[in-house]
Structure 1
Amino acid sequence: MSLFKSYAGLSREIYYLCLARTINSAGDFVFSLITLVLTLQMGMNVVSAGIFVSLAALISGPGVLLGGYLSDLMGKKTIIVTGQLLSATMILCCSFWSGTITVGYLLIAVMFFISITRPAYNALIIQLCTEEKERKSAFSLMYLGANLGIAIGPLVAGFFIKDHVHIVFISISTVFLISTFIIINQVKIGTSKVMASTGSKNSEHLQSSQPPTPLFTLLMRNPLVALFILVSFLNYFIYMQSSFSLPLQMNDSFGEDGAAYYGSVMTINAISVIILTTLILSVTRKLTALNSIATGALFYGIGFGALSLMGYFPHFAIVAVSTVLWTVGEILVQTNINLYIASRVPDTHQGRFNGLLLFVGCLGYTLSPYLTGIFIKNMDMGSLWIIILAFSLVYALCMIILWYIEKSSTRKSEIEPLDLSQSV
């Protein structure tokens, strides 16, 4: 049986939504764009450029919270379309102010509007899929498509960004507009399989007309979901090592060739994602979201922990094997992390809960480099990877504990999403 049959049977809206996300991802590399434009084109020093990148990362936190709230209030599709149109407009404006500091501020605004769409994308997939297996396939397909776009976009932009940056800006704006056009014309909420099976009661118009329940109140009614979101900080903290500590390890092990080796690591990561995502979905299709995440956390630990051997055997073969292992962990965690929330939160609050999860992710990404820097300052790189291994094991254990609590619970309201919806 073909592995790609794992993606068969999804609604046409899901396929078009994933296509739009893939196209959009080809232009969605704002952090790298800020750094490259400000340093290569404007000659700004690394420290000053880093301030702009930090501001872009900082503003994405409020962005995902606002996006989650507005997607529940106004509709997921509406927020995606609005956020992408505003992003396209800001990117296009960059072509007119090319070579000025204004570009830096415009790109920060772009990051804000992009972050607004993130929880809306996740919540819309949940709304369009009625069963967990469908959602697992949909999130896997979305993840695969996003990585394809991310792999292609920066590669193409790299040829033009130094001497023809205005072409890059116009191209990214066009990509966003094409993605938005697909969503407007092809993602029909009212005609989806969800609507066919449940009638009009789940339409975005009716959802948005319901009286809102405070997020904090709903978190108190769903303590396991609240704990899951809180513990997910570890996922983002651990995964950030691939962008922060791993380049430092390459420099420490290979000196001046460290940057080139790190580029090879990212290539291995991208190829592994493209080759393994569908295979992993097929193999783990029957696993629950918590079991899949726990397994992914173990692969995180083994993959990153293996780098502790670099102090004794500084060979790139260790790095290559390590990269494949932590990439397997990445696939397992990132394609399942939204599924746990999906079946335990009413559809009227999916946007807000996904926004809160993404906000915790922003905290993880923001604090990880700082705290990891402290670890590195006070110990060697090998000891750091042992600490990351320990964090990964703690993350896996937390997921197993959550799974055990749910399995052993005798109260139906703690495991049936229907009862949670009715509590609202």
Structure 2
Amino acid sequence: MTIKKVLQPYLELPKAVYIMLLASVISNMGNFVHPLLTMFLTYKVGMGVATVGSIVAINSVAGLVGTLIGGKLIDKIGRKIIFMVFRTLSAVSILCCGFAKDTWIIVAFIMLSNFVTGISSPVYSTIMTDLTKGDKRKTAFSLHYMAMNVGMAVGPLMAAFLYNKYIRLLFIGDAVTTIISVILVATMVPETMPKFGEFDAEENEKDYHKETAEQGGLMKALLKRPQILIFSAIMVIYFLVFSQYNFGISLQLGDVFSKDTASLVFGTLMTVNTVLCSLLPPLLPYVIKNVKPSMCIALGGLFYTVGFGMMAFITSYGMFILSAVLWTIGEILVATNTNIYIADNAPISHRGRFNSIFPIIRKLGFILGPMLAGVYVKHFSIQALWIPIGILAFIGALLMCGLQIVVNKRETSCRKN
């Protein structure tokens, strides 16, 4: 494996993909407010924990509803215009928070911002789906995942500094970076929404019409592609498991180490996760070039099985680091290939709606995971949590393999007919 071979695929993507990646880095670098929402409302505003919990939950639901709406708008109106309008509204909403005096007005603007951001969130993956196919699609989504993580690695550090000393600049900085990303897309990215029926016949034949345009709504399109419904159900299991990287691990470390040491170890694990998520994605398209996305996701499930499952038996700092490396590799395999799988099976007429599925599945898993884990830990122990988590991950991997076997048989049947 030479450096030239590794880098070559990244030099062959359409210009608009690079602009979207840059916009993603800038936007995530400036995502100051939402990660610190709980701390801001609790310690700066002085709200009670129960009230803050309700606000955070409602805010998450607002983003989820926005994503559902956004998928259809992106397909009906256009990718670029939806991004420009709703990201600008998000920036204005966050900017208003910096100058509002009333607590509930601030909360309302934050929720509005999350709602309109949700509407525009499927645009990134939809544009990349429009502009790429095959191996280039793998490369684009791997780079996008890296771009998000680079932005998210820098953003919280800047946010923490502004939070302590310049709270108004926290909101202004968030708004400004959002506007910069809007300007980049507005001036340098063309509208990529394809016209109905616009798809190369040769590619259709090769992919068994997976991306052929469909008439009707999302449910009708999904029912014609039952593998996506099954895939979505399996992915809920994956994100039930992955949600424990924040909830379960923090409790486990608190149980194994002293309070001060636990926070240090947790910070180290999150750093390991962020660094790997920023460095490894560009290597994956080369390493797994000929592996189907579903099998990459199954492999990711096995990394989850070992990485999370081993925490039932470990107590040393070094082993927790190893665990983090393993489940982070799983995270990268799952996250990048989930987008690719959905993109490869989305009808050209419903790409926005299909690309809204991934964030919805992720949020559903992150809502249910901590709730179910909390109930389990209450009756057993935090260390006992990791055995069922590991088993769930293994079941998810087996189900994904089973789905691919069924799809292979179906495609073989199509060839014969």
Q: Within 1, Cα distance between the matches of 2:308 and 2:415?
A: 35
The equivalences for 1:78-227 within 5 A come to: 78-97=81-100, 100-129=103-132, 131-189=133-191, 212-227=215-230
Matched, 1:291 2:292: no
Stretch deviating more after TM superposition (378-387 or 138-147): 378-387
Query: What is the SS of the residue equivalent to 2:345?
Result: coil
The residue identity in structure 2 corresponding to 1:374 is V
CA contact (8 A) 1:144 1:273 kept: yes
Deviation at 1:260, TM superposition (A): 2.5
Query: Counterpart of 1:421?
Result: none
Superposition deviation, residue 276 in structure 1 = 1.8
Which residue matches 1:327?
A: 328
C-alpha distance in 1, partners of 2:248/2:193?
47
| Map 1:220-369 → 2, pairs under 5 A | 220-257=223-260, 258-310=262-314, 314-369=315-370
Shift of 1:121: 1.8
| Aligned counterpart in structure 1 of residue 45 of structure 2, from 42, 46, 49 | 42
> Whole-Å Cα distance in 2 between the matches of residues 356 and 191 of structure 1?
18
- The question of whether the paired residues in 2 share the 8 Å contact of 1:31 and 1:53 is answered with no
Gaps of 5+ in 1: 199-209, 417-424
Given that 2:16 and 2:188 are in contact with CA atoms closer than 8 Å, whether structure 1 keeps it comes out as yes
Alpha-carbon distance in 2 for matches of 1:3, 1:149 = 23
User: Relative to structure 1, is the Cα distance of residues 414 and 85 closer, same or farther in structure 2, using a 3 angstrom cutoff?
Assistant: farther
Letter of the 2:267 counterpart = G
Counterparts in 2 of 1:340 and 1:72: CA distance versus 1, 3 Å: same
8 Å CA contact 1:98–1:165 kept in 2: the answer is no
- Once the two structures are superposed, residues 348-369 of structure 1 have per-residue CA deviations (whole angstroms, 9 ceiling, x without a partner) of 1011122233223221111111
Residue 25 (structure 1) aligned with residue 41 (structure 2): no
Amino acid paired to 2:185? I
Q: Which amino acid letter does the alignment assign opposite residue 289 of structure 1?
A: P
Taking the aligned partners of 1:82 and 1:67, their CA distance within structure 2 comes to 12
**TM-score normalized with structure 1 length:** 0.89
Q: Which AA in structure 2 matches 1:50?
A: G
Number of aligned residue pairs: give it: 400
Deviation at 1:118, TM superposition (A): 1.9
Task: Specify the SS of the correspondent of 1:286.
Answer: coil
Kept after mapping to 1: 8 A contact 2:78/2:191: no
DSSP 3-state at the match of 2:280: helix
Distance between the aligned counterparts of 1:27 and 1:50, measured in 2?
24
2:290 aligned counterpart, secondary structure: coil
TM-score, length-normalised on structure 2?
A: 0.90
User: What secondary structure, in the 3-state scheme, does the structure 1 residue paired with 2:258 have?
Assistant: helix
User: How far does residue 410 in structure 1 lie from its aligned partner after superposition?
Assistant: 4.8
Whether the 8 Å contact between 1:147 and 1:273 is mirrored in structure 2 is: yes
How far, CA to CA, are the matches of 1:400 and 1:267 in structure 2?
Answer: 31
CA distance in 2, matches of 1:148, 1:271: 8
Q: Which runs of 5+ in 2 are unaligned?
A: 201-212
Supply the distance in 2 between the matched residues of 1:176 and 1:58 (Cα, whole angstroms): 21
1:36, distance to aligned residue in structure 2 (A):
2.4
Equivalence for 2:386 = 385
Tell me if structure 1 keeps the 8 A contact 2:338–2:358.
no
Shift of 1:412: 6.3
Q: What amino acid maps onto 1:135 in structure 2?
A: R
Question: Do the aligned partners of 2:343 and 2:354 also contact (CA within 8 Å) in 1?
Answer: no
What do residues 362-393 of structure 1 show as CA deviations (whole Å, max 9, x unaligned)? 21111111111011111122221111111111
Matched, 1:14 2:17: yes
Shift >4 Å, 4+ stretches = 410-416
Residues of 2 paired with 1:410 and 1:275: CA distance?
35
